[in-house]
Amino acid sequence: MADLFKNVFGGSKDGQAAAPAAGNPDSDFADFAGAPDPVPEPEPAAGTGTDGAAAAAAQSTAVPWTKWYNVHERHSLSEFKAEGVILAVGLVILVLHMIGARANRRKARAWIRAHGPALTAEYALVGFSGVPTIDRDDVKPDDLLKEKSLFEFATYATGRQNVAFADIKLTLSKRFNPLVNMVETIAAFLFESTFETPTDSMEAFIYPFDGKEDRTVPSLPGAAEIRAKDSKSSYDSFVWAVVNKTIMHKVRDERYDLSLTSTKDNPRLPNWLTVMSESAEITDALLTPELAAAIEAAGDDFQFLIVTDQPTEKPKSLDETLPSKRVLLKYRLPSSNDYTSLAGLFTYFLRLPDRLVQSAHFRPEVVRKVRATRDAMSKELRKAAEEEKAEERLLEKEKAKKAKRDAELAALDAKAQKKYLEKEREKEMRKSAKKQTVRG
């Protein structure tokens, strides 16, 4: 009984629980035995073997752990070399842009300060403000010029006897963009006939009234005098120019009006200048000693002075042949911004319309010669227009004939249509045979 009691209740004689047999799969409490507590392994002592030395070296060179937002500890400036180059190049471009733009503005201001007094002395209104500048002491020359872009500046003038208005444009090099400026220079060097070398230049356009004061009602001081009957500004139509020989061929090719003239040197001008005129009498009337001296003083900066009534582009219709009188002056701006040598030429140019009204009235023979050239061009355009109209009429006639044929053919039945087409084919064959007989 004692043995049976021990087997059933697991008891022992001395009151202690018997431990389960090792390796017994039927043990009821073996799965609930507690896991042993972890015991840390001892670290190898420094200098006790190869593994200990490697571990110590790795521990000494490891980067200490830091928070994730400490960017300066995770990155360095050497990682941003490409960005640095881009920023440096962009900064250089920005600095060059600012320097070039400032240089262009400085050059434009130098021009208007040199020529502003002459403009305000000759015209009642200068600039785009709409406020008359005549008899005013508070006019600032810099306010008379308008910046259209970093390389284009312009001014405007009106309110003068014999002149409707004047437009003046300064075209400067693109100093603010050295890359574009270099490309344009290379293109002009390689393709001289197509591209123009970047330069600083001034172009002035004067539009005379040409006797049409009554059609204009200016609201400026002196308007009554301008509209007076005894101040008609008409003069004969012609084309005349003084041109620098370095651009003579290019200007003639680009401008239709100068293609009507003949080129001839003049003893009153230096050998680097030539005259383009439709008559020697016109040259004698316009090429005064004062003009010759002013152009010679301007030197190589002078490009051309043109008096014209014809369009720049070759006319394609009769409406484009109507006279439109203009006076043009172009010269290069000196790099030194010293306009002493050009001041006389510019002043003479502003007063040239007065000279035209007084002296540009020629003998009937000269007027007929000039008019003959324009009549020949008008005749060619008129003939071309008539031929074009004849072609249009023929085309309309063919369209009407075809529409009539289609209508007649649609009104017939299939048998009648076949007969109609056969008859039409026979007619075409007879016509072609007749043409071959005539040619033979």
Q: Per residue in 217-231, pLDDT tens?
A: 454 445 555 555 445
Range scoring the smallest mean pLDDT among 18-32, 283-297, 403-417? 18-32
Are 265 and 280 within 8 A, CB to CB?
no
What lies within 8 Å, CB to CB, of 342 at 6+ separation is 114, 297, 298, 301, 331, 334
Query: How many CA atoms does the CB half-sphere of 157 hold within 13 Å?
Result: 30
Q: Are residues 186 and 294 in the same domain?
A: no
End-to-end CA distance of the chain: 154
What per-residue confidence (pLDDT) applies to 33? Answer: 52
- In the predicted model, is pLDDT for residue 204 greater than 80? yes
pLDDT at res. 375:
85
Residue 211 has pLDDT above 70, yes or no: yes
Residue 416 lies in a domain: no
The reply to whether 307 falls in a domain is yes
Number of neighbours of residue 202 by Cβ within 10 angstroms: 23
7 vs 141, which has greater pLDDT?
141
Percent of the chain with pLDDT over 70: 80
pLDDT-based confidence at residue 19 (cuts at 50, 70, 90)? very low
How much is the CA Rg of the chain, to the nearest whole Å? 48
Q: Is 64 among the domain residues?
A: no
Cα separation of 326 and 307, whole Å?
6
Q: Indicate if 222 and 268 belong to the same structural domain.
A: no
Is the same domain home to 215 and 285?
no
The DSSP output letter for 29 is S
User: Residue 253 and residue 262: Cα distance in Å, rounded?
Assistant: 13
**How many domains does the chain contain in total?**
2
DSSP state of 6: H
pLDDT in tens, 133-146: 988 888 899 999 99
Q: Band of the pLDDT at 40, cuts 50, 70, 90?
A: low
229: tokens are: 């009957």
Q: Is residue 117 part of a domain?
A: yes
pLDDT above 80: residue 352: yes
Based on the fold, state whether residues 280 and 192 are members of the same structural domain.
Answer: no
Q: How much is the mean pLDDT over the chain? A: 82
Same domain, yes or no: 209 and 312:
no
Judge if 169 and 91 occupy the same domain.
yes
Identify whether residues 227 and 243 lie together within a single domain.
Answer: no
Same domain? 392 vs 308: yes
What pTM does this model have? 0.71
Handedness of CA 221, 223, 224, 225 (dihedral sign): positive
The pair phi, psi for residue 166, each rounded to 5°, is -135, 140
Backbone angles phi, psi at 155, to 5 degrees: -145, 165
Cα–Cα distance measured from residue 292 to residue 278, given in angstroms and rounded to the nearest whole number? 19
Domain residue limits at 118: 79-231+335-349
Least confident of 7-16, 195-204, 272-281: 7-16
Residue 436 pLDDT more than 80?
no
pLDDT attached to residue 268: 93
Structure tokens at 312: 């720049």
Q: Are residues 382 and 281 in the same domain?
A: yes
11-36 average pLDDT score: 49
Inside any domain, residue 295: yes
**Would residue 354 count as lying in a domain?**
no
Nearest to 201 by CA among 151, 144, 241: 151
Above 80 in pLDDT, residue 35?
no
* 179 in the same domain as 134: yes
> pLDDT > 90: what percent of the chain?
47
Rounded to whole angstroms, how far apart are CA atoms 219 and 158?
Answer: 10
Using 50, 70 and 90 to split pLDDT, how confident is the model at 18? very low
**Same domain assignment for residues 177 and 206:** yes
Angle between helices 340-359 and 289-298 (to 10 degrees): 150
30 CB contacts (<8 Å, ≥6 apart)?
20, 24
8 Å CB contact between 176 and 100: yes
Residue 159 in this model has a pLDDT that exceeds 50: yes
**Across-strand partners of 171?**
152, 201
Note the pLDDT of residue 285.
93
pLDDT bracket for residue 11 (50, 70, 90): very low
- Assess if residue 425 is contained within a domain: no
pLDDT number for residue 230: 45
Q: Which long-range contacts (CB under 8 A, 24 or more apart) does 251-259 make?
A: 251/304, 252/276, 254/312, 255/306, 255/312, 256/310, 256/311, 256/312, 256/313, 256/314, 256/315, 257/306, 257/308, 257/309, 257/310, 257/311, 257/312, 258/306, 258/308
Is 168 a member of any domain?
A: yes
* 267 and 161 together in one domain: no
Q: Which amino acid is at 161?
A: Q
